[in-house]
Amino acid sequence: MSRPPLTFVVGTGRCGSTAVSRVLRLHPSVLSLSELFTTLEPGALPEQDLDGEEFWEILASSRPFADRMIRDGTPVPEHLYPRSPGRFTGAGGVPALCLTTLPHLTSDPDVLFDALRPVLTARPAGPAAGHYRALFAELSARCGGHAVVERSGFSLSLAPRLRQHFPEARFVHLYRAGPDCALSMSRHPGFQLIEFLADATHGSGPEAPAKLERMLADDSFDLTGALKRPVPVARYGALWSRMITEGLSHLDALPPGTVMPLAFEDLLEAPEHQLTRLAGHIGVEPDPEWLDAAGGILDGGRRGTSDVLPPSQREALLTACTPGTRALAARARRTQAGPGRGGRS
């Protein structure tokens, strides 16, 4: 039996991907999974086989950063669970699967969480991908949609592992103009913490995530102070450039026809055309009612937000974004020139 279509929408984060998840959720043939894999990181895609109980532990374990933000009364915007609270709390820990993925699909994530547990924990040992496909199938049966589209922010670096575990998958690379994306990063607690960590760990490499988790688990750690410290917006431009240039190298390694590039600005400018392209890539029909409803979600006012910065800050930000902007332009030229590695839809 053939597998249902599977597509991953990857990007830097703060590139319009949350809006895309909301748009996809409206399509009757799409199971829209929001923030699944990056929420489950680290350890979302283990190399070794695992049984159903071990897989459930990945889904049901909590995340120190999310719990701490919930306890402090300032959950990150993508985490939907705290806004319609159920039985889980930041004090006791909110299962990672419940933070965004399940509330994106249902108004009662606790009920869906409880229904998934016996099905998934009963599974025999096997590769992680098989367990995830079982999760997708169960969610499709309960929430509708046969084409699975997973979208996570900050996910470009996951593309090689996603391809390794799901060789049948297609990809959409969603990107946004560097200065606007970087400015949005500078206002988001997740990216603010990334920059704090870069300073606090002094390039400690593989140990950095573990150190961050230890800090966040300690309530004496001044998270508010860490997030409020001043950071030049140009640093977020440099972060965006690094993520784009490294991410494009990952996408270039994928087979031709696997990746569809999608600029958020193009989606705002011509939603019907771009959503029709997107529907074809993920394997569904561009339903007219869906196109009409989706257009009401996309906010054209999000273009050019960095134009309001003082001239000196904007100039520094543009300079920091130059490597990523050039890399995107070079890839677009290769795509337009004809078939090549990656980038062809």
Give pLDDT tens digits for 142-157.
999 999 999 998 899 9
Residue 339 has pLDDT above 60, yes or no: no
Residue 319 backbone phi and psi in degrees, to 5:
-65, -45
More confident residue, 74 or 45: 45
User: pLDDT (tens digit, 9 = 90+) per residue, 105-132?
Assistant: 999 999 999 999 999 999 999 999 999 9
State CA 227 to chain mean position distance.
21
- Number of Cβ atoms within 10 Å of the Cβ of 187: 13
More confident residue, 146 or 219: 146
Average pLDDT over residues 209-226: 77
pLDDT number for residue 345: 39
Which of these, 39, 5, 11, lies nearest to 267 by C-alpha position?
A: 11
If you average pLDDT over every residue of the chain, what do you get? 91
CB under 8 Å to 76, separation ≥6 — which residues?
Answer: 66, 69, 188, 189, 190
Return d(Cα 168, Cα 284) in angstroms, integer. 16
Kindly give the interhelix angle for 311-337 and 178-186, rounded to the nearest 10 degrees. 130
What does DSSP say about strands 147-151 and 259-263: parallel, antiparallel, or unpaired?
A: unpaired
Percent of the chain with pLDDT over 70: 93
Name 171's bridge partners. 8, 259
State CA 34 to chain mean position distance.
7
Under 8 Å between Cβ of 29 and 154: no
> In Å, what is the CA distance from 144 to each residue of 55, 119, 237?
23, 17, 39
Q: What is the largest CA-CA distance in the chain?
A: 60
Return d(Cα 118, Cα 128) in angstroms, integer. 17
Quickly state the pLDDT bin for 37 (edges 50, 70, 90).
very high
Residue 202 has pLDDT above 80, yes or no: no
CB under 8 Å to 326, separation ≥6 — which residues?
Answer: none
Give the pair of three-digit tokens for residue 185: 């990063």
Is the pTM for the entire model greater than 0.85?
yes
Residue 137 has pLDDT above 70, yes or no: yes
Distance linking the first and last C-alpha atoms of the chain: 25
Give the pair of three-digit tokens for residue 125: 């040992």
Residues in the chain: 345
Kindly give the interhelix angle for 208-217 and 189-200, rounded to the nearest 10 degrees. 110
Burial of 249 (0-12, 13-18, 19+ CB in 10 A): middle
pLDDT number for residue 24: 96
Return d(Cα 282, Cα 165) in angstroms, integer. 18
Under 8 Å between Cβ of 172 and 260: yes
pLDDT number for residue 340: 44
Name 151's bridge partners. 9, 34
Average pLDDT over residues 306-326: 97
Which residue has tokens 């829209």? 32
Name 127's bridge partners. none
Quickly state the pLDDT bin for 210 (edges 50, 70, 90).
low
